[in-house]
Structure formats: structure tokens, C-alpha cells
Amino acid sequence: MKQEKIDKVPAWLDFTQSATGLILALFIMGHILFEASILVSNELMYKVTLMFEGYYFFGETYPGIVSFLAAAIFILFIVHAALALRKFPSSYQQYKIIREHTTRMQHEDSSLWMIQVITGFMMFFIGSVHLYIMMSQPSNIGPYASSHRVVAEFMGPLYFMLLLAVISHAFIGLYRLALKWGFMEGKHPEISRAKFKLLMKAMIAVYIIVGLSSLGKYTYIGLTHDFSDGVKYKSQTIHMENH
Amino acid sequence: MSEEKSPRTLKIDVLRYDPNDKNDFPHIERFEVLEADGMTLYIVLNEIREHLDNSLMFDFVCRAGICGSCSMLVNGRPTLACSTLTSKLDAHITLAPLPLFKLIKDLSIYTGEWMRYLNEHLETWIHAKEEVLNFDKLEERMDPALADEIYELDRCVECGCCVAGCGTIQMKPSFVGAVGLNKVARYHLDPRDKRSDEEYYELIGDENGVFGCMTLLGCEDVCPKDLPLQSKIAYLRRMMMKTALKN
């Protein structure tokens, strides 16, 4: 019996694309919520920032932790992008075929994939910009520093596009991931699929509303706050030497 | 008093082309047919051929959604014409041949060549691996639930709708498509097939096989036989991943 060694790489590529996508999507779900702490108060957002800088674990802030996390996410992002690139239409002809196919079919899931391709492509660029800034300026995150970045450093439009792209991409991705691997399929896959789809749409709506509200708040602070004595936030309750 | 509604006039736009006629080019031709009760597209097309244009070419055998010959794009979506009621559609209907397959003429396509290649390539038959064939030996008994499950997948009629509905295969024609993966799932379930997981992996464990599937689910949503394609492809994906893990 012929029994050559099988090439495991295609399986691992597929699995790694799914796994990195899953981690990134879960990360985004947390990210948007943490960032929305600004909607509660500047103080809470500041405390969330301190938490990620390790203040509640070490009693001192280490912005390097944020750099490290951003770098880790950047690596996952690059791996995911590289693997997803395999699925992109790679010539004008292929693009035309898939475009005509989705237009002709009027089939929601095929169109959702087109959204994945478009939002994924957008994020190659805008996602990279955001990640690099987080990596290189980890200490410039805070109620005022972030607001300053949104307004004075003109990151608002980029964040707006990134928000729409990343939220749609993440939840459409999670939906497709569940179907791809048969997650919680149950006895009636068509019913679980309909439920997942509804959940996906609801989550996209909720997260976009939350994300846009936070972005609105940062913009408001950026426009109204007096930045003449710097972008650092002065907490009422936590007093630190370096801050 | 029931109100008698006057029947609709169906406007049928057919994409026509004869690749063997050098002077012909793909063009849309419109036919108008008076709708009747319980009318299917099969009846419409015969109406056209009998009364309007006897050169219109299309395929039919069973008229009952069993043979899979009459697959075509109806308003852009692949389906079987014989099981499509006109009453479910608008009065304006467009018909086109399935893409990807060899066009014979008008709505008639040659799926046979493509399917034959697929079946040979994926070896869609029982590999009993007996050294000597013994025709007197009784077949092993099978659990009825499993037999049902296999039968469910065996209902595929190779109509080609899943192929035409698949965005992946349109872009990358070397992909085996749902029809191929469904067949592999069918033999993988069958205890009489003695192929090892590794041998199955050799067949579909790459980007032309299960790992090429992008889960657009066109196949699942257009399959006229309602085969569980989505869950069988997910099943194969998990099986192939397990095989990769244990090697």
C-alpha cells in the first residue's frame, strides 16, 4: 500500500488563519469595550489605562506592557493577513469573476465574504498605522492624550474607518468561523446558522454604536479641552510621581 | 364567488449562444408565455420550443427533480428548472446556462465531462482493498442510522448547482467544490471503504480540497436536493485537521 507522508501544511495554514482570526476578534471585542470606558468618565478611562500599564499589579506603571501587547497583536495581525491573502482574488480576472458572481447570485453569505475582503484590505493599511502608533507611543493613551490624538493629530477619520472595518470584519469572521468548523452546529445546522447570523448583525450594530459614541466623546474632549498644560490626565484619586 | 384572476404574461429572457456557430454571439432573447396554474419552468421552456422557437436548446429527462439535467441560472441563481414554479417568481424571469461547465448550446450544458473527471480524481467508489474478490461473501451488516446518513449524501444528482453557486470555484477552477467534498464525506462515513484517514487527506487535504473552501455557502443554499453540505464540509475539515494532528 502506498503511504507517503502527508503534507500537513495546508491544514495548519487553514487552522492558523482561523485561530489568529478568533483571537483578534475576541481582542477587538474587549478593546472596544475598554475604550468605551470614556463614556462613563474620564477617571474610569484613566484607570483602565493604568490597569493595562500594570499599575494594579505592580504599583507602578510600565507603558512597555502596552507596547508588548500591541506588538503581539501586530504579529497576529500580520500572520492573519498573510494567510488570508491566499484567498484574495489575485488578478483582475478573478476579481471580476467573483464580483459578477456575487452581484448575480444576490446571496448574502457570498456578499459577506466580499465585505471581508474589502475590510481586510483596508485594514492592511489603517490597522497597521494604528498598531504602530500604539507600539511606539504606549504612554500616550489616556482621556486627554487619546482625545488629542483624535483631534489635533488628525487620527479621527482613520479611527472612524478602522472602527467600521474592524467591527464588521470581526463579527462576520466569527460567524463564518462557526460555520466553517461546525461550531455548535446542533442537529439543525440551518437553525443555528440563522441564530448566529442574527447574533452577528446585532453585535455589529451594538459595537458600532458603542465605538462611534466613544469616538464622539474623544472628539468632544479633543475639541473642548484646554491642552495648554500638556496631554496628561490629572486624576482626582490617584497621584503618581511620574504622571 | 371566487374572483378569477387573469393569468400573467411571463417575460422570459433567455441567454442564447451556440458556440459551434461561428457567426453567433451571446445574446438575450425574450419570449412571452401565458402563465398557467402549477406551471414550472420546464413547462415554460417546452411551451417556447413548441410554439415560439423550436431551435431553443435545453436539457430535461425526469421532470421531477431527480435526474439533475435541467440545472440552469434562474434570475442569476442556479437551480433545477423542473422544480421551479413560475408562481414563486416575478413575471420577468431570466434564464442562463450554468457557468463553468462546457456549453453545448443555449441552456444546454455538458456536466458529464466535469463530473467524470471529478469522480475519477477523487476516486468516488468503495475501496474494499480485498486481495481476492469473493462474490459469495455476505456484505457486512450496517447500522440503519449510518445507512440513512450515507443514503442522505448519496442523493446528490450531480446537477452542478453547487458548483455554479460557489464563488471559490469560479475564481479557482481547480477547487473540487461541494459536489466533490460531499462524495468524499459519503465514502469516509462508509465502513466498507477501507481507505485510511491519510489516504483521504491525500485526496482533499489541500487548497484544492477542503482547505480551499471559503465557506461562502452558495452550495448549501442552492442545492436542489437540500444536501447538508455546510455541515459535511465542516466535518471533513475537522477530520482532516485531526489527521494532520496525529501525523
Collect all residues with Cβ–Cβ distance below 8 Å to A45 and sequence separation of at least 6: A35, A37, A38, A142, A143, A146
**What's the mean pLDDT in A42-59?**
92
CA distance B82 to B98: 15
Q: Does B217 touch chain A (CB under 8 A)?
A: yes
Q: Quote helix, strand, coil % in chain B, to nearest 5.
A: 40, 15, 45
CB B198 within 8 A of CB A3: yes
Give the pLDDT of residue A229: 84
Q: Which residues of chain B have pLDDT under 70?
A: 1-3
Q: Residue A47's pLDDT band (boundaries 50, 70, 90)?
A: very high
CA–CA min distance B2, chain A (Å): 37
Measured in whole angstroms, how far is the alpha carbon of residue A3 from the centre of its chain?
44
CA distance B184 to B211: 14
Residue A242 has pLDDT above 70, yes or no: no
Query: Are the Cβ atoms of B167 and A181 closer than 8 angstroms?
Result: no
A-chain residues near B209 (CB < 8 A) = 10
- Count the Cβ atoms, other than its own, within 10 Å of residue B245: 11
Give the pLDDT of residue A37: 97
Give the pLDDT of residue A234: 83
**What's the mean pLDDT in A79-93?**
96
Q: Residue B95: in which H helix or E strand, if any?
A: strand B92-96
B-chain residues near A11 (CB < 8 A) = 201, 205, 211, 240-241, 243-244
Return the C-alpha torsion angle A174, A178, A180, A184, nearest 10. Answer: 180
Mean of all residue pLDDT scores within chain A:
93
Collect all residues with Cβ–Cβ distance below 8 Å to A202 and sequence separation of at least 6: none
A207: exposed, middle or buried (C-beta count within 10 Å: 0-12, 13-18, 19+)? Answer: buried
Give the pLDDT of residue A50: 93
Give the pLDDT of residue A231: 86
Cα dist. B65→A12, B62, B68, B224 in Å? Answer: 40, 7, 6, 8
**What's the mean pLDDT in A90-102?**
95
Residue A216 has pLDDT above 60, yes or no: yes
Q: Residue A238's pLDDT band (boundaries 50, 70, 90)?
A: confident
Q: What is the pLDDT of residues A140-176, one digit of tens each?
A: 999 999 999 999 999 999 999 999 999 999 999 999 9
Distance separating the N- and C-terminal Cα atoms of chain B:
74
Please give the residue that has the higher pLDDT: either A9 or B134.
A9
CB B63 within 8 A of CB B46: no
Give the pLDDT of residue A4: 66
Residue A1 has pLDDT above 50, yes or no: no
Q: Does A47 touch chain B (CB under 8 A)?
A: no
Report yes or no on whether pTM surpasses 0.90: yes
